[in-house]
A and B are shown apart, each in its own frame.
Chain A
Amino acid sequence: MILEGKVWRFGDNVDTDVIIPARYLYTADPAHLAAHCMEDIDPAFAGKVQPGDIIVAGRNFGCGSSREHAPVAIKASGVTCIIADGFARIFYRNAINIGLPLVELGPAVAEIKGGDRIRIDLGNGTLENLASGKQYTIQPLPGFIQDIAKAGGLINYVKGEKA
């Protein structure tokens, strides 16, 4: 799968409360959640994000609450991939489970700026910053987590298993 898009840049410790505040969790409707995505740290985000855009962030992205509403909100806002220095573990699981690709790039995320265009080839494990021309290798997902991702998420994966 090849993804190409414009970068939205965020910092360290972006928690799930700012990704989608609990005051909006009275429903899990993806469109509703997307309308309030990132509202408390960037009120302009939900109105300006375009389908195909990519989020690039620092350390510990998605820390805090286990609310899956957070990756759902990001996915429903049209973002196709999140690249971060690192991810909090529940967020990581949740994103895989709903079929939202994540790339753990490490400190090299510092070289990617807001507005850059980047191109990610998840199949051969490469990431290119089209703005700077820099190329990076991305680690493949381990073991059956790759199978969950390939199935498009956990529910499809479980449905494919024998009961």
Chain B
Amino acid sequence: MGMTMTEKILARHAGLDTVVPGQLVKCRVDLVLANDITGAPAIVEFDKIGRPVFDRDKIALVPDHFIPNKDIKSAEQAKALRDFAKKHAITHYWEVGRMGIEHVLLPEEGLVAPGELIIGADSHTCTYGALGAFATGVGHTDAGASMATGDTWFKVPSAIKVELTGKPQKWVSGKDVILTLIGMIGVEGARYQALEFTGPGVAALSLADRFTIANMAVEAGAKNGIFPVDIAAENYLAARVTRPYTAVAADPDAVYERTVAIDLGSLVPTVALPHLPENVKPAADLAHIAIDQAVIGSCTNGRLDDLAQAAAIIDGRKIHPDVRAIVIPGTQQIYSEALVRGYIAAFIRAGAVVSTPTCGPCLGGYMGILAAGERAVSTTNRNFRGRMGHADSEVYLASPAVAAASAVAGHIADPREVMK
């Protein structure tokens, strides 16, 4: 019986020839990730075990959530991460000024390669599936234990095949693909399962699109989302990954629990309404919803392509007088490149604010918290009650193009309407 990409990676890391869904396996890990919020308690758990780190080159510590430090307590969590990195000579630690949002930063730094197995104490660790890795989020105890043991356990997931065909229209991007998929299968549609993306449509998606799609696999309840490794992925990797890696491909007779087909050409700019990512509607139907804030950034949509889409709409226009627009490049490298390309100047001329990389507003940390009754259009990943601030505020999830168009219009807007 053939295996899926996910099964092959898990089997290889468990030292087995084959695995089947439901099987419990112990796998070695290629990378363990933690951030300032999860790293501090992971270190506490790690210290209880009383062993050295399993491999100082295979632990990535990224202070990004409440960083630059938002208050004294956050500063203490960041310090715990920094002190641990120094004490154990952790190779992959980034200080403010060099750090970025973890799931944008790690692929950029070449720390993710096809066929690898990565766990991170952050649910959006599944982002790395865009490069054909098995990557999934865990809690801080799992992360702390793996920093000592170099392994962890998994239940082998069954898989859903997402068959992509066609080409997206202008102003339709990865965010619209994943929001549409979550709308189709629901927030627990892939619970305990792998989402394996395949089909001729994959070639029509940029790497940025694929990162966005894999990033939100967890919003459908999935354990991981994974893409095949094609020429575009190899090109992305060539400039970044120097160590050898072995990509896997699904067997032709791999068994999937079901197949979901999406024609990329049929997709429109899409928005997820409060308070679940599955509540999707076309942006064009939501022009009656006025907004107070627009956030463009995050591990979901803080990449250069995302800023390019937003800049193309905002350049030469003005942010609506009633809107606070907040743009957050995902890493310093992206920030720097966006400066060179003139995106940052375009945002500032239009009346937007541009921030250093941080997860800040996405999770209601800081840098754009909502008051009761306020509404944000955001390129982030969750619109749960209270996610970005007061329990009575609202978050509408959308692509950078929709967020930019909405920031200009003052209400939720289809980019095609603003660019007419």
The residues of A with any CB-CB pair to B shorter than 8 Å are 13, 15, 17-18, 21-23, 25-28, 39-41, 59-60, 63-69, 71, 86, 88-90, 93-94, 97-98, 142-145, 153-155, 158-159, 161, 163
Q: Measured between alpha carbons, how far is A143 from B156 in the docked complex, in Å? A: 13
Query: In the complex the two chains form, is B138's CB within 8 Å of A60's CB?
Result: no
User: Would you list which residues of chain B between 10 and 61 have a CB under 8 Å from chain A?
Assistant: 24, 37-38, 40-41, 44-45, 48-51
A159 to B382, CA, bound (A): 36
* Contact among B77, B137, B153 with A144 in the assembled complex (CB-CB below 8 Å): B153
Q: Collect the chain A residues with CB atoms within 8 Å of residue B384's CB.
A: 15, 17-18, 64
Q: Which residue of B lies closest to A99 (CB)?
A: B141
* Residues in A neighbouring B138, C-beta threshold 8 A: 66, 90, 93-94
Pairs A-B, 4 closest by C-beta atoms: A68-B139, A26-B73, A94-B139, A28-B41
User: Is the beta-carbon distance between B49 and A64 smaller than 8 angstroms?
Assistant: no
Q: Does B365 contact A (CB under 8 A)?
A: yes
Assembled-state Cα–Cα distance A94/B45 (Å)? 13
Least CB distance from B362 to A in Å reads 9
A17 CA to B395 CA, complexed, in Å: 13
Interface residue tally of chain B, by bracket? 35 or more
Contact among A63, A66, A97, A153 for B221, CB-based, below 8 A: A63
Q: Looking at the complex, which one of B71, B122, B145, B365 makes contact with A154 (CB distance below 8 Å)?
A: B145
**How distant is the Cα of A161 from the Cα of B26 in the complex, in angstroms?**
13
Complex: how many Å from CA A31 to CA B32? 28
Check if B142 sits within 8 Å of A93, measured CB to CB: yes
Contacts across chains A and B counted by CB atoms under 8 Å: 138
Interchain CA distance A59-B65 in the complex, whole Å:
29
B residues in contact with A25, CB < 8 Å: 37, 65-66, 365
Q: Write the nearest CB–CB distance from A30 to chain B, whole angstroms.
A: 10
Our pick among B44, B66, B137 for the contact of A66 (Cβ within 8 Å) is B137
- Interface flag for B387 (CB, 8 Å): yes
Among residues of A, the one whose C-beta sits closest to the C-beta of B362 is A22
Bound together, the chains give a CA A86 to CA B191 distance in angstroms of 10
Complex Cα spacing A144 to B73, Å: 37
- Other-chain residue from A27, A68, A86 in contact with B73 (beta carbon distance below 8 A): A27
Closest to A18 in B: B385
> In the bound complex, do residue A64 and residue B385 qualify as a contact, i.e. CB atoms below 8 Å apart?
no
30 contacts between A and B (CB under 8 A): A17-B384, A17-B385, A22-B363, A23-B364, A23-B369, A26-B71, A28-B40, A28-B140, A39-B391, A40-B386, A41-B391, A63-B188, A63-B221, A66-B121, A66-B139, A67-B37, A67-B38, A67-B139, A68-B38, A69-B41, A71-B139, A89-B191, A89-B192, A89-B221, A94-B142, A143-B24, A144-B153, A155-B49, A155-B144, A155-B145
**Complex formed: what's the CA distance from A65 to B59 in Å?**
21
Contact B142 A28 (CB under 8 A): no
Specify which of B51, B141, B365 is in contact with A153 (CB 8 Å cutoff): B141
Q: Is B223 located at the chain interface by the 8 A CB criterion?
A: yes
Judge whether B142 and A97 touch: CB under 8 Å.
yes
**From A26, A41, A90, residue with most partner B Cβ within 10 Å:** A26
Given A90-B123, A90-B138, A154-B142, 6 further pairs, Cβ under 8 A: A17-B382, A22-B37, A22-B364, A23-B364, A28-B140, A68-B121
- Asked if B149 CB lies within 8 Å of chain A CBs, one says yes
Chain A residues contacting B24 (CB-CB under 8 Å) are 142-145
> Max chain B CB contacts within 10 Å: which of A40, A60, A65, A159?
A65
Please provide the chain B residues from 94 to 130 with a CB less than 8 Å away from any CB of chain A in the complex. Answer: 121-123, 125
Residue B164, interface by CB 8 Å: no
Q: Smallest distance from the beta carbon of A65 to chain B beta carbons, Å? A: 5
